[in-house]
Amino acid sequence: MKKSVLTITLNPSVDKSSSVSNIIPEKKLRCNSPKYEAGGGGINVSRALKRLGVNSDAFFTSGGRTGKLLEGLLQGEQLNIRPFYVTSETRENFIVLDTACNKQYRFGFPGELLTKEEQNEILKSVEEVNPFPDFVVISGSLPTGTDSNFMKQLVKMCKSKGSKVIIDTSGEALKTAVEEGVFLLKPNIGELAFLVGKDKLEETDVDQAAQLIISQGKAEVVIVSLGSQGAVLFSASEKIRIEAPPVEVKSTVGAGDSMVAGMVSVLIQGGNYKEVLSMGIACGSATTMAEGTGLFTKENVERLYKEIQKQ
């Protein structure tokens, strides 16, 4: 039977991107026409999975005028959506490219607090998903002020349903999720340092930190993102490092989410960990080739995956 996937986004956004030549303080800047795209960790994972031919259900909070715009954007991409309505307005982000120097400026807003009642209702709504998915991807930030213990409750409930939980967040939400224990964790080096109580880690310390998390039962698989240098995967019996292929980077927006989608697309087919990591890096790298908040093209993913297989 084909494996199913649910993505959860608790702090989604509508990303508005544009471009202008020469960003100068206090000068009226006339930007090009904006482009609106759905944003937020889990939503981007679902969007990327769709491009890989994998259907998923996207659960996300939605509020106000921006929430309706978000839903419309996702319906336009023919995603299976599960909006959960909240009283606060869904946030917007603004991304602008300075075409004179090819530098991108990203302005993110925090998102309104979820009430305690809304948090409880979210847990109930996710628990009532039927049939419950084989994989749950919880990705993105929590709205400012949300009880980080909420993430722990969410992970625990998904695990109790027999689902494999993949987490990609940061800060206290990441810490509490990992305390509960997850299937797969994708931190960068800074987030990994935070999880093991260090101010920072040298690359030579990454192995020990990742294996400590695995040995404590906090994750079965730890994939440490090294940015343009690729990533390294750890399990109880394996360590696999793969370099990222050289590409012309136009934007890093959505690259991490695309990496998660690539990995999930292989996991649901029962692929091995080298294939999981290779597809993740191919998708993440291909997304950096897209402008603004755009995601990868399947053609670029396939080409990069073949390059990575030659390593």
Report pLDDT for 149.
84
CA 264: distance to chain centroid? 11
Report pLDDT for 143.
86
235 confidence band (pLDDT: 50, 70, 90): very high
pLDDT tens profile 260-302: 999 999 999 999 999 999 999 999 999 999 876 679 999 999 9
pLDDT tens profile 25-55: 999 999 999 999 999 999 999 999 999 999 9
Residue ranges of domains in the chain: 5-22+31-309
Q: In what order do the strands lie in the sheet with 13-20?
A: 35-39, 13-20, 91-98, 103-107
Superfamily name with CATH number, domain 5-22+31-309: Ribokinase (3.40.1190.20)
How many other C-beta atoms are found inside a 10 Å radius of the C-beta of residue 78? 9
Report pLDDT for 1.
63
Strands (E), 169-298: 182-185, 219-225, 231-234, 239-242
pLDDT tens profile 104-127: 898 988 888 899 999 999 999 999
How many other C-beta atoms are found inside a 10 Å radius of the C-beta of residue 100? 12
Q: What is the mean pLDDT of residues 130-142?
A: 95
CA atoms within 13 Å, Cβ hemisphere of 73? 22
41 vs 13: CA distance, rounded Å:
9
At residue 15, the 3 state secondary structure works out as strand
Among candidates 107, 73, 71, 111, which has minimal Cα distance to 91? 111
168 has catalytic annotation: no
Residue 222: pLDDT above 70?
A: yes
CA 197: distance to chain centroid? 23
199 vs 222: CA distance, rounded Å:
19
116 vs 281: CA distance, rounded Å:
38
| Residues forming a β-bridge with 27 | none
The active-site residue out of 147, 168, 207, 257 is 257
> With contact defined as beta carbons under 8 Å apart, do 257 and 45 qualify?
yes
102 confidence band (pLDDT: 50, 70, 90): confident
| Residues forming a β-bridge with 94 | 16, 107
